[in-house]
Structure 1
Amino acid sequence: MAAHIRPEDRECPLSTAMSYVGEWWTMLILHDCFDGYTRFDQFEANIGLSSSMLTARLKTLVNSGVLVKQPYQERPVRYEYLLTDFGRSLRPILVTLAAWRNAQLAPGDRSMILVDAETGREIEPVVVDPVTGTPASDPRFVFTAGPAAGDQMLSRYGKDSAPGT
């Protein structure tokens, strides 16, 4: 049996990222958080996840620094779950995933869309290189070994693939 690898010990940023948000329940909890929900009973009602699974996922999100748990009531003690800065940084990922799925659907088949709250106009998020404005999906953008690459990344991408080598 393989030893458990902590997310921070993984070299690949994709595998590390998936360790935080890889379960679809996690994405639904985060979606609720971005919509302003903070309480266990709200998550439970919206998502339909069993209380034991929801408890486990919330604990994982708190332990990984995505959410912070704080009491909002003393007797009995009740907690709310709030996004941390780290958790809020996941919003563009959720927005992009939703847009990716919506792009596969006819406009009339979309059950949720992203709009400008001031104008009501539907928007289409795009990930771009901030220097050139070129979409990150352009095939000229490729992964390569970075400055902290270990043997696994160097083996995958080659020792001469790192920028500046």
Structure 2
Amino acid sequence: MLQKTYDSQICSLARALELVGERWSLLIVRDALFAGVTRFNDFQHNLGIATNVLASRLEAFVDAGIMERREVHGSPRQHTYALTAKGRDLAPTLVALTSWGDRWATDGEPPILFHHADCGAAVGVETTCARCGAVGHDGVQVAPGPGMPAEYLADRRPARPPQP
């Protein structure tokens, strides 16, 4: 089983996985973002997720600021769950992961297509350079950013480029 936190990792991807890396998390966000699902029972029905797991995920999303719980007017015991800006910012991640799944994890044609609401054209995600435009995975390098702790840099040997 994967650990819940990645304390030894100095990496924003590791921090993101702590928030949305559990099995059902991105499917919940998908349904909220693209299908407009907001009610607990609708998430449960659509996903077939156990109610205790769903309750835990929604609570974690609320605690992390990915969703906010709203009381249903006139029914103080009923709530809806709405994505915050932080949650909506996961849209490109979902589009990219779906595209990867269409290529590597789906038999046949893509089961879901993303289109721009205004013009109907296909939506996709690509890695781009601010100066040159689209780049492939082999054109991307990593370097320490301004948030990298100085003590971590002192303990690390320089990374070597991959050998052919």
TM-score range, shorter chain: 0.7 to 0.9
Q: Does 1:100 align with 2:80?
A: no
Distance in 2 (alpha carbons) for counterparts of 1:61 and 1:153: 32
Mapping of 1:8-157 within 5 angstroms?
11-35=10-34, 36-104=36-104, 108-135=108-135, 137-150=136-149, 151-152=151-152, 155-156=155-156
Q: Which residue of 2 aligns with 1:163?
A: none
Unaligned runs of 5+ in 1: 160-165
Bigger shift: 79-88 or 68-77?
Answer: 68-77
Give the conservation status (yes or no) of the 8 Å contact 1:68–1:84.
Answer: yes
Give the conservation status (yes or no) of the 8 Å contact 1:145–1:154.
Answer: no
Q: TM-score normalised to the size of structure 2?
A: 0.79
Give the conservation status (yes or no) of the 8 Å contact 2:6–2:14.
Answer: no
Count of residues in Structure 1 that have an aligned counterpart in Structure 2: 154
Unaligned runs of 5+ in 2: 160-164
Distance in 2 (alpha carbons) for counterparts of 1:153 and 1:17: 22
Name the aligned partner's letter for residue 57 of structure 1: R
Distance in 1 (alpha carbons) for counterparts of 2:157 and 2:66: 31
| Aligned CA distance change for structure 1 residues 92 and 157 (closer, same or farther; 3 Å) | farther
Name the aligned partner's letter for residue 142 of structure 1: Q
Identity across matched positions, percent? 27
Q: TM-score normalised to the size of structure 1?
A: 0.79
Q: Summarize deviations over 1:88-115 as a string: whole Å, max 9, x none.
A: 1111101110011112367943211222
Per the TM alignment, residue 73 of structure 1 is displaced from its structure 2 partner at its CA by 3.2
Other structure's SS at 2:28 match: helix
Other structure's SS at 2:116 match: coil
Name the aligned partner's letter for residue 93 of structure 2: I
